[in-house]
A and B are shown apart, each in its own frame.
Chain A
Amino acid sequence: GQNIDQPTEMTATEGAIVQINCTYQTSGFNGLFWYQQHAGEAPTFLSYNVLDGLEEKGRFSSFLSRSKGYSYLLLKELQMKDSASYLCAVVDSNYQLIWGAGTKLIIKP
């Protein structure tokens, strides 16, 4: 079967750094997405990794290791508005997105 694991919930302090991990076991791999979803809203695109390594985009960075079936999303200089759920999704061999359950990130002042 296909499986994507992320922590259910994480808490961090405003201004700090947090790393959200995602491990996956899927039938094939054609890339990995990170999306942000605020409560009651639709997901918005954060990053896409298809090759190993780190992709940096402002305060957010995403890392991929295909051999380990592992990715992480790194958020720096946390702001209160970063409180949201972060969804990891893998593109499988059928080019469908397989979604993780999401990680709820709580930012405290």
Chain B
Amino acid sequence: GAVVSQHPSWVICKSGTSVKIECRSLDFQATTMFWYRQFPKQSLMLMATSNEGSKATYEQGVEKDKFLINHASLTLSTLTVTSAHPEDSSFYICSARGERGAPYEQYFGPGTRLTVT
């Protein structure tokens, strides 16, 4: 149980275009979802936290107009990278937190590798 899926698993897009990444909790209701970015050989960097039905809370330095997050239901959150540039190329990982597991445990999706050319 506690499975989180992400789609797509990898995407290549041209500079200036937008890309949408979906994160779904498959067998539990995720009251909170998190979006992370990870550059090679670096640790996870939290981008934003979203609660179902409310606006996402962005970490300092993360442009909310560039990284649009929507958490429309208890099982789905989306991250849209708008006007992508090569420096946005990274591994994007979502996680979800619900009522399962250890307190505050986050269940991670498999990640999406974005390459902007």
Contact with A along B89-103 (1 / 0, CB 8 A): 001010100000111
Residues of chain A touching chain B, judged by Cβ–Cβ distance below 8 Å, are 30-31, 33, 40-45, 48, 50, 87, 91, 95-97, 99-102, 104
B43-A100 in contact (CB<8A)? yes
How many B residues have CB within 8 A of the partner chain? 22
* A95: nearest chain-B partner, CB-CB: B104
A44-B108 in contact (CB<8A)? yes
Cβ distance B21 to chain A, nearest Cβ, rounded Å: 13
**Chain B contact residues: over half helix, strand or loop, or mixed?**
loop
Residues of chain B touching chain A, judged by Cβ–Cβ distance below 8 Å, are 34, 41-44, 46, 49, 91, 93, 95, 101-111, 113
* A49: nearest chain-B partner, CB-CB: B102
B102-A48 in contact (CB<8A)? yes
Contact with A48, one of B91, B93, B105 (Cβ below 8 angstroms): B105
Cβ distance B34 to chain A, nearest Cβ, rounded Å: 8
A97-B104 in contact (CB<8A)? yes
* B110: nearest chain-A partner, CB-CB: A42
Cβ distance A39 to chain B, nearest Cβ, rounded Å: 9
Query: Which residues on the A side are within 8 Å of B101 (C-beta)?
Result: 45
Task: Give the complex CA separation of A29 and B43 in angstroms.
Answer: 21
A30-B103 in contact (CB<8A)? yes
